[in-house]
Structure 1
Amino acid sequence: MSAKKDCSPATGLIHHPYRPPEGFASPAVPVCKASTVFFPSVAALRSQHWLDKQAYTYGLHGTPTTFTLEERLATLEGAKHVLLAPSGLSALTNVNMALLSSGDAVLLPDNVYNPSKEFARHELARWGISHKVYDAMQPESLLQALGPDVKLVWLEAPGSVTMEFPDLPALVRTVREAAPQAVIALDNTWGAGLAFDAFELGVDLTIHALTKYPSGGGDLLMGSIACRDQALYQRLAMTHSRLGLGVGANDAEAVLRALPTLPLRYASQDASARRIAEWAAGQRPLIRRVLHPALPGSPGHEHWASVCRAAAGLMTLEFDPAVEPARVDAFIEGLALFRIGWSWGGPVSLAVPYQASTRLRQLGSPYAGTLVRLSIGLEGTDDLIADLALGLQRLQAA
């Protein structure tokens, strides 16, 4: 069908009458890009709403591509509602801003993702919202921090960097009994919707840094918020809308393409990490301890075993305090396959050092030596072990 000849070329190109036939199907989800969304009538313009994903109103509120990703993530996490955010940290921020007001308090585990603490210390404090930290490995520590002003409690499993796995059912019970007014939120990035069933444990919502395992490529940023309760979803969604949070259609497409292989990649990186953790546990005296929830003896291993069926490809090596930080840095820089960089869950293995005694804890750190977090990628496990072994040999000889 050709355009009419009685209009200018510009008008003909913009208002061309051709529409492709319906019925096209392929494995890929179509990439739908929009800021403006057309309505068939003024009545539709006035009446259509996006919250239930039954209509389109504006690009920020959803397209077929983003709605499809949200629904697939809801299935993955065992939720009913999902919102997409530009990053995992923006998902955390959305939750805090939706659920907290001046005079409220939020509780954070002491081993929480550090940017979450920084947001509480700075932005939340400036808005009159206080925060307290608790020891996630001691439910009584959580109980002592709870009060009528606590409206939001964050859980993280395992702890960021130090990898302690808490007794999640006990923490949830503690909140429900002592502070029923509080919403319980879990950072489920490590679990990725595969390691354990977060909502079956009783949490109210989860956030997920899709940057990690769902993306799988280390090449995009995205986050999600998932919940089951309709009223909670509406509070989160309206704040999300007012903040103007959105994700790019091509990034949503990339996550959709990666999702079918997520269980395969997660299982592969899990298996590889367990082998490396077991090997590293025998590398004393340089390595004092290996922190990996699936490794017997790692803090909270028994809690991991009681609720989990898998583990992410993350571990942390605690070096002997006698090994100076500069020597640990040199060890990392000498590795051939492990690259130096933030994030995890991608195909390339990563190594990053931390000084746990000075950076990670407010309640006192049980870690004395330098910590090195390893994100295990998709390289051959034997190759990664050989790389680490050679690095330790050089460290021993230095």
Structure 2
Amino acid sequence: MSTSRELLGHLIAFDTTSRESNLAFIDFVRAYLAEVGVTCNVIYNAERTKANLFATIGPSGVPGIVLSGHTDVVPVDGQAWTFPPFTLTERSGKLYGRGAADMKGYIACVLAAVPAFARAKLRIPVHIALSYDEEVGCLGVRSLLEALSQELVKPLLCIIGEPTELRPILGHKGKLAMRCQVHGAACHSAYAPQGVNAIEYAARLIIELGRLGETLQALPHIDDRFDPPFSTVQTGLIAGGKALNIVPEDCSFDFEVRALPSLNPWQIAQQLRQYAESTLLPAMLAISKQCDIRFSELSSYPGLYTSAQSQAAQWIAQFCGSNAFSTVAFGTEGGLFDEAGIPTVICGPGSMEQGHKPDEFITVKQLDACDDMLARVLDFVREG
């Protein structure tokens, strides 16, 4: 039987950066599960270059517990690593490697627990759900959830093992990422009033976006369970123009809304669109009928908040040994599981303080503590 430490070494060795295929990782897990008699469903993307995996241990037709994690990791490009990112290195009780914390450590613990789950007589099934492309917008898990929606029985609980230092997390904000493309009219800068300056109109949109963000920082939009306790709006990328003596014809910018679960982020996008169409476009079209302002979605996922009084919250408190419920600033696939009707919590080993950074690590102590948590899950689901 492999330990979580040994399995983490195998998992780190797979370069599952989101731009790469995760099929070698999935094949490894499938073969590992097959060794103890666990079959799984592999759900490929359209190009068959990536896949989700879903496996069940225990009785069918009974609501179970989902242990869920994403297989992809963020790039190491441009980061100054002391240790090889795709080789697990242990130093002074820390295990270094890309994905060690986010979130192959949790997956390694889940796989290490599989033989014990498979040997036990379970009254409640345990499901293993592994997804792809979480880091680029929670994309892959959607087809996995679509497949689950065909099942007659929904799981009792989903535990997403994002790194929380095994603290029970009940909520996070949702996210909407958008691109705005402003098309103006070029001309020589000496005759600037005869053109439509796409950069300047984009700037007016960005200023309006900031104003909309400021309105979210006051009551009744405050929720002290989150940090910061309000929804945020920010512009992250902008591009436009060709030369200083040409009135720029095109400008685009990308912005995001990180919304409390109580806010639909599309409300902000729609307000910005209305401002563009009612205030800016008429002035632009008066100069050139070719002008336009277009918005397109880049990615989105919903927020999550599971009630502290829910059965799901009480179960995760039992498993991790704490009812100090909290929220996290980063997003997860949890909101999508919740939308699918599966009560969801976030709890996993390691800290996001190490995630996405060079020399990412998880401590051996955290791996051991996660092994203990999954042993308590086994005690809960087994008969007798």
Q: TM-score, normalised by structure 2?
A: 0.26
Give the structure with the higher percent strand.
2
Q: TM-score, normalised by structure 1?
A: 0.25
Give the structure with the higher percent helix.
1
Q: Could you say which structure has the greater relative contact order, defined with CA pairs below 8 angstroms and 6 or more residues apart? A: 2
